[in-house]
Structure 1
């Protein structure tokens, strides 16, 4: 059985992103990684208390990574974007290679440009990190489209 990790990249630990992720994975054994619990420095500004390697250790233990994000200013959350930015030239990011990736983003009626931007980001992330992109869905706050379109394999 594949080990599934749900990465909630919302600063709201139990908000809509978390709720949708839990509903999506309700019949599957999974762990939750709350990005709000970790301090990840901006690219080029790494501080002693940076915890990106702790996040990567948790990801290393999974086979399937399900990333959930709210849509803020027409893209994924700053937390998720900072995490992705930091993967560049970080040797520990090699742990992502071979993982199955699902990404969903929910927000208040994201427009087509937002959808394209998030799809592009997901495609580039999976390609550059050697991951297998299994699904990307962007939806409104209720997450109905995410729940109907995204099927997590295990």
Structure 2
């Protein structure tokens, strides 16, 4: 009896894990970044620059849908910070890196009150010295029921 229960429990866990993987497919691609340190004239020191995989480069300037956690961070450019992780685990507070955050630039700026949100927009890869390495331009809140 216990072994049947264990098999059913294991099957349920595997199924829920596979659904989570489908939902996180875009993040799985974005999280795979290597870094190269180069000297920055602006900062007068070596700083990390992203080395995007071919899979990520293929997403540049394409429309994507991405779900994540809104980080309560004020920005000068009115962008919203979206992370694959909740605030307590993001790269500001936890052990994650800058590849786990996307700057969201809304088509029609408004305050987002929800913690977990899905956005649709055009992904831009940023390999400049400043800014986040991922930016979602002309973004709108996305609900799969629309």
TM-score w.r.t. length of structure 1: 0.30
User: Which of 1 and 2 has greater Rg?
Assistant: 2
More helix by share: 1
More strand by share: 2
TM-score w.r.t. length of structure 2: 0.31
Higher relative contact order (CA 8 A, sep 6+): 1
